[in-house]
Chains A and B, each alone.
Chain A
Amino acid sequence: MRKGPNRPRIQRRTRNGLLFVSPWLIGFLAFFAYPFFATIYYSFTNFNGVQSPKWVGFANYTALFHDPLFGTSLFNTLFYTVFELPLSTAAALGLALLLNQNVRGRGIYRTIFYIPSIVPLVASCLIFVWIFNPATGIVNDLLNDVHIQGPGWFFSIAWSKPSLILLGLWGVGQPMVIYLAGLQSIPAQLYEVAALDGAGAWHRFRHITIPMLSPVILFNVILQLVACFSYFTQAQVIEGGDIGGPGTSTWFYVQYLYEQAFQFLKLGYSSAMAFFLFVISAIVMVLLFRSSSRWVYYASEG
């Protein structure tokens, strides 16, 4: 006769298991699930955080598409993402390749290139404001020395976004280290065999390094995408007194969302903005993951 399941034991084990994961569960429910569903609910209301929310249906979403600053902030964010993402990926990967070379003192070089990414973000921003100040900054002084009139950088509509992209490149130390770790996990035999077969440096890079590194590239691209979509601190610090300026050239999506939520207390409207950003991010991530089957190589899959 087969013994039936020991119900009290299973229940006890389940209870104990839940007890052990409860810190994570509580954190998940309190800091992710509740805010997420609350945001969706508030996006259909007129809510200022103090009075009770009033149901307005899709009015907030309709208003988004009649708000010129919403379009501007979305454009600025996409512009930044489109340029920053490939440039920072290329810069981080390029640096990692250089620092993976067997040269004397490479530990020192690695440290030097990593240091900027541990400098506090606000400090980096203020330093950049100084260096790129068109009136007194060292960059324009140097350009002047070679008879080039430097641009207005952060103070010019045309140059403010490129300047922020440059600032973004300053902090590529973090992905660089991840790429470096990825590069070191590629078996050396693959390069040796390819060299024996007559493959040059470019071919080895194209057909060994890139495929073997592709999971790391995917990981870094996802992190970078999230950072680009939620771009806030640098623009907020640098444009300090003229947030979003000059003009509206540095109005980024999350800054506008923050202003609507915490300066104008339009929490319903800003919730709609937040949910819209979530939808856009989700679509991009789904597309990225779908495309990954064509360009990401997992050694375990053969």
Chain B
Amino acid sequence: MSIVRRASGSARRGLRSRLTIGAVALALVGGLAATAATQTTAATAHKASVVHLTWWTMWSGASLGPVDELVKQFNKTHPGIQVTETNIPSVATTSTAKLLSSIAAGDPPDAFTEWWPEIGSFAADGDLDSFNKYLTGPLAGFKKYLYPVAVQGGSYKGQLYAAPMSLNSWALYYNKTLLAQYGITSPPTTLAELYADQAKMWITSNGQVSQIGFYPDVNENGFQFYTTFFGDTNCIKNGKYDYANASACPGGIKEMDFINSYANYSYSQVQALQTAEGQVAGGAGDIFSNGKAGFVLSGPWEGQQEVPATDTSLEGNFGVEPFPGIPSTIGQGNFVIIPKGSKHPAQAAEFIAWLSGYKNAAFAAKIDTAGGWIPGGPSVTKQPVYKAWISSNPWLKGFIPQMTDKGTVAPELTPNQSQLFTAENTATANVLQGLQTPLAALQYIDQQGNS
């Protein structure tokens, strides 16, 4: 009996201890489940509060690195806004078609980096959201932060429709090796000197051009890129183009005469050389960075990205001087817009301001130096990183002061801006091929711009 009792007593104790363990386990599981549920709820709530922005750009190649870094940094410093960048083809018709189709379909990106001078057309058609209503609170000082030319280049009828992630500044690059080879002791300072110097550098054999001096539309630098140097940006008044009116716009005919002075060179041969030496050939860079041109009109990215990617022997063997003419540069760049129908326009505005370097000068300085870009606002250029970059690359010195030159202006945004862009390229090519006189080409530009 006692054995039985003992046994029963021990069984009871065993049962009790098992119950105790079970209760503790249940409590633990319950506690864990409750904690997990709380965490899941918190995570879901956090996920729900995160705004996802889509950003379309057209960059490729070496530029992608700095752009990726920008996105990573923004996402790290803005946990409530997460940006996804998508690269689309950098062909004008394709990129515009993609953007406009997405707007029409009601599913556009939240931000779009526009390369082509089409912002006026988009704004006039009601395809864009204006920044003005978001320029309050933390963004109140954004407009003042930007270069005046940046505000001008993004404004249409008093509304800011675009802000530059970075700006372009254009100057005359020259190949020091070629200059020395042809006995040219200093870079040209006038258009006549430029013509005379570059004329020595052309190499043609059996009708085939294998090296050029200077040619106006290399890298698709059409009429629009030279306007400030001839002071004819004032030939657009209240959306009307008047380039062919010599009395109201003397710079127009001067500029087209300058382009016409290169019509004696074979257009087809230069285009062929560009195709053979440029990105179409599967390589990087362009005709200048491949060492096949004495001079080219280009921006800081030429020296920062193209030359190192194409021909390292050219590093340190090129120089940059202001383009002959009125001290200036054309105020355009990588403008970012908020397409109409963006799901998060306020957050997109915040992101775009950050991209411009607004309240983000130190990081913007780091990225702009990597990409070879002029920032949207002058405060970035005062950052130690930016200053160090300029001082270690003396060829960069001229680009920043040009941004505030009196002659520096942005082309006025007009509803027919995109037609004008195409017309200016066509007119440039026509003059260079002797298909149109300079005056007829200007009339064509006016007619297309005002149609």
Contact = CB atoms under 8 A, between A and B. Distances in A.
Contacts of A140: 208
Contact of B266 (A152, A263, A265): A152
Contacts of A129: 275, 280
Interface string A252-279: 0000001101111100000000000000
A263 B271 contact: no
Contact of A247 (B92, B272, B429): B429
A243 B93 contact: yes
Interface residues of A, number: 37
Interface stretch (A18-26, A81-89, A130-138, A193-201): A130-138
A133 B419 CA distance: 30
A126 B278 CA distance: 13
Interface string A53-74: 0000000000000000000000
B125 A51 contact: yes
B93 A258 contact: yes
Interface in B72-97: 91-93, 96-97
A134 B340 CA distance: 45
A171 interface: no
A182 interface: no
Interface string A188-228: 00000000000000000000000000000000000000000
Given A50-B125, A157-B433, A263-B93, A242 B425 contact: yes
Contact of A135 (B101, B126, B208, B267): B208
A262 B266 contact: no
B208 A247 contact: no
Contacts of B422: 259, 263
Given A136-B272, A240-B91, A240-B280, A263 B208 contact: no
A246 B433 contact: yes
B260 to A, nearest CB: 15
B107 interface: no
Contacts of B429: 242, 245-247
A244 interface: yes
A237 to B, nearest CB: 10
| Size range of the chain B interface in the assembly | 35 or more
B350 interface: no
Nearest to B219: A241
Interface in B271-287: 271-276, 280-281
Count chain A CB atoms within 10 A of each CB in B210, B275, B425 and give the residue with the most: B275
B93 A152 contact: no
A14 interface: no
Contacts of B426: 244-245, 247-248
A156 interface: yes
A144 B206 contact: yes
A101 to B, nearest CB: 40
A229 interface: no
A109 to B, nearest CB: 32
A133 B267 contact: no
Contacts of B118: 263
A169 B388 CA distance: 58
B97 A263 contact: yes
B96 A262 contact: yes
A264 B433 contact: no
B93 A133 contact: no
A94 interface: no
A245 B271 CA distance: 10
A42 interface: no
Contacts of B274: 241
B446 to A, nearest CB: 14
Nearest to B220: A241
Interface string A113-149: 0000000000000100110011111001000100001
Interface in B407-425: 418-419, 422, 425
A241 B428 CA distance: 14
Contacts of B245: none
Given A242-B425, A243-B93, A149 B206 contact: yes
Contacts of B273: 135-136
A155 interface: yes
B93 A262 contact: yes
A48 interface: yes
B210 A50 contact: no
Nearest to B416: A264
Contact of B271 (A244, A246, A264): A246
A35 interface: no
A247 B269 CA distance: 14
A133 B121 contact: no
A233 to B, nearest CB: 13
Contacts of A156: 268
A134 B208 contact: yes
B273 to A, nearest CB: 5
A122 to B, nearest CB: 12
A296 to B, nearest CB: 40
B298 to A, nearest CB: 15
B435 interface: yes
A50 B121 contact: no
A55 B272 CA distance: 46
Given A50-B125, A51-B125, A135 B209 contact: yes
Nearest to A48: B125
Contacts of A243: 93
A263 B116 CA distance: 11
B430 interface: yes
A261 B418 CA distance: 12
A50 B435 contact: no
Contacts of B125: 48, 50-51, 265
Given A129-B280, A241-B274, 10 more contacts: A50-B340, A130-B281, A133-B272, A149-B207, A243-B93, A246-B267, A247-B430, A261-B97, A263-B418, A265-B96
Interface of B: 91-93, 96-97, 100-101, 103-104, 118, 121, 125-127, 206-210, 220, 266-269, 271-276, 280-281, 340, 418-419, 422, 425-426, 429-430, 433, 435
List the 6 closest A-B pairs by CB distance, nearest first.
Answer: A152-B268, A262-B97, A155-B268, A49-B104, A135-B272, A136-B276
Interface of A: 48-51, 126, 129-130, 133-137, 140, 144, 149-150, 152-153, 155-157, 240-248, 258-259, 261-265
23 contacts: A48-B127, A49-B101, A50-B125, A50-B127, A126-B280, A129-B280, A130-B281, A134-B208, A134-B272, A135-B276, A144-B208, A155-B267, A240-B91, A246-B267, A261-B97, A262-B96, A263-B92, A263-B93, A263-B96, A263-B118, A263-B422, A264-B419, A265-B96
